Amino acid sequence: MVSPLPCDTSRLSTEAEKFAVRAVFMLVEADHAGMRELSPTRPRPARAPRHSAFPLAEAAKAHALGDTGRTVGKLVRTVP
């Protein structure tokens, strides 16, 4: 399993042992280079989850949310 979302790493090894698989925790940035690093482990290209979409007129709001450091996923600005 590959997940770009946070997970409980303290249980990772224990849960993997139940299924007789190896578990590895990797911290990867959700950018192009980071997603490419995950590619060999996946049958299709990895994509970062989308947190929120904002119209271009609300770009300042999107930046403010991103600056909080509390988002999981990409902030997308839409253009009509």
Structure tokens at 13: 């090894």
User: For residues 52 and 72, what is the distance between their CA atoms, to the nearest angstrom?
Assistant: 9
Q: Mark whether 58 and 36 lie in a shared domain.
A: no
Walk along the chain (80 residues) and give the pLDDT tens digit of each residue: 555 556 677 777 788 888 888 777 766 666 777 767 766 666 666 666 778 889 989 989 988 988 888 887 788 888 87
pLDDT for 7:
67
Q: Mark whether 11 and 39 lie in a shared domain.
A: yes
Q: Mark whether 35 and 54 lie in a shared domain.
A: no
Q: Mark whether 2 and 14 lie in a shared domain.
A: yes
Q: Which domain holds residue 76?
A: 49-80
pLDDT for 60:
92
Q: Mark whether 55 and 79 lie in a shared domain.
A: yes
Measured torsion, CA atoms of residues 78, 69, 65, 67, in degrees rounded to the nearest 10: -100
Q: Mark whether 41 and 72 lie in a shared domain.
A: no
pLDDT for 42:
63
pLDDT for 66:
86
Q: Is the CB of residue 22 less than 8 Å from the CB of residue 1?
A: no
Structure tokens at 63: 């930046």
Number of domains in the chain: 2
Q: Is the CB of residue 53 less than 8 Å from the CB of residue 76?
A: yes
Q: Mark whether 66 and 80 lie in a shared domain.
A: yes
